[in-house]
Amino acid sequence: MFSCEVATLLMEHSVSIKMRTTILDTEGYRIQLPAGAVIFQEGEAGDRAYIVDSGEIGVSTRVNDRELQFAIAQHGDILGEMALIDHGVRTATATVLNDAELIVIPKDYIHRLVTTADPTVNLLMQIVMQRYREMKSHFDTISAGGSLDSIEVKPKLENSQLKAQTEMAMRRVTEEQRLRKALHNDELRLFYQPIIDLNNGAILGCEALIRWQDPERGLVPPIQFIALAEETGLIEPIGHWIFSEASQAVNKFNALAGKDDAFFISVNLSSRQIETDRQVEVLTDYLLDNDIELTNFKLEITETLLMSDPLRISQVLTEFKRFGCKIALDDFGTGYSSFSYLHRFPIDSIKIDRSFVSTMAENPTSKAIVRTLCTLAESLEMSTIAEGVEEEKDQTMLQAFNCNFGQGFYYSTPIPEDEFMALIQKQLSAA
């Protein structure tokens, strides 16, 4: 029993030491150490991990007052990572056997990675660490002559931080499963909010806005699930569904009007949907395979997305434009707001953020911003869409600034497809 436990313990440690890694020297720094130098000692608080670039490091632990070497770390091996993950002490001693060069990974670098990791991954790492430390402590008790009966059995998850992390991970896993099911069970809905020509009040198009018709919670707004969809990658299949649904909807609206291009539809494109070239390829393949034409589409993107990788995003947008769609810059004024870059992208419209539009009647700064943005867009030959038009006086001001289009509760909240069709029908009957 005893030797079996020792073997398992040593094997586990050895496996973690032997794990090859490709972390580069970007955030750490290098140290050179001569043979005989002690890198860290068992029982010390750890504040860094190391990757061996050259040389050899002996890894040992004390067993019955004897130092037992159980691994030799070489080029590409990682050392001392455990103490960084859970702030515990070193469980082994590392000594240079042959002159070595090491890359140091500082604690704050690891801490940043761990805290920004998916909560479930984070939790799993903490639990693996906790289990390992428990096993190590049992092993120490036994090797010091104690018996298995003397080991105190502690309640699981007594650590309150770990408890909080467990709850967060459980919530997250449950929500992700629900959202996955929602997509599969057809619980997602697109609502449509009219976009109005400020010259004559006619509906010219709409913005497609997602909702989740949850059988238990009712209509869930996007703010409660889009971020999760982005973090879990579910935004990709959801994004495909949105394109398919929006395409069918705009075709219906245009069929009702009896004209192929009577209305346009605006679709929000999240940065996570086009983060990699592979995603763009998957999305464009999906559009081609499903005969989804984008000629009546406007893709809404944010300034943050543009600035994340300007050159690449410009190419991606140009590729989408080959499908015949237009590009609108959403929430304009809330991000970088550096006008100098605008002309470098194939942008057709800017959407002035509702935080300016809905306050411009009372706030002279908001009013000046809206007026300036309208003038700027006009000089760049882009059209302007004002979001958050809530009252008649907002509309009057926007008309005075030569703003092209308006969207907001003054005209309509986002509504289901049949209600939007009824609005179109009303407009057609009045014409």
CB of 267 to Ca ion, least distance (A): 9
Count the neighbouring beta carbons within 10 Å of the beta carbon of residue 54.
12
**For residue 89, what are its two tokens?**
């002490």
Contact 362, 331 (CB under 8 A): no
Under rule CB under 6 A, residue 268 binds ligand C2E: yes
Give 268 or 284: the residue with its C-beta nearer to ligand C2E.
268
Q: Which stretch binds ligand C2E (CB under 6 A): 167-175, 221-229, 248-256, 284-292?
A: 221-229
Site string for Ca ion, 272-311 (x = CB under 5 A): ----------------------------x-----------
CB of 340 to ligand C2E, least distance (A): 24
Under rule CB under 5 A, residue 394 binds Ca ion: no
Q: Which stretch binds ligand C2E (CB under 6 A): 167-175, 289-297, 306-314, 402-410?
A: 402-410
CB of 403 to Ca ion, least distance (A): 15
Binders of ligand C2E in range 359-398 (CB under 6 A): 387-390
Site string for ligand C2E, 274-303 (x = CB under 6 A): --------------------------x---
Under rule CB under 6 A, residue 270 binds ligand C2E: yes
Q: Are strands 188-197 and 405-406 parallel, antiparallel or unpaired?
A: antiparallel
Give 78 or 206: the residue with its C-beta nearer to Ca ion.
206
CB of 353 to Ca ion, least distance (A): 6
Which of 85, 145, 80 is closest to 111 using CA atoms?
Answer: 85
Under rule CB under 6 A, residue 226 binds ligand C2E: yes
Residues 71, 92, 242, 249: which binds ligand C2E (CB under 6 A)? 242
Under rule CB under 6 A, residue 237 binds ligand C2E: no
Distance between CA 216 and CA 56 in Å, rounded?
Answer: 59
Residues 34, 43, 146, 221: which binds ligand C2E (CB under 6 A)? 221
Residues 95, 193, 254, 268: which binds Ca ion (CB under 5 A)? 268
Count the neighbouring beta carbons within 10 Å of the beta carbon of residue 42.
16
Name the site residues for ligand C2E (rule: CB under 6 A).
193, 208-210, 221-223, 226, 242, 268, 270, 300, 330-331, 354, 387-390, 407-409, 414
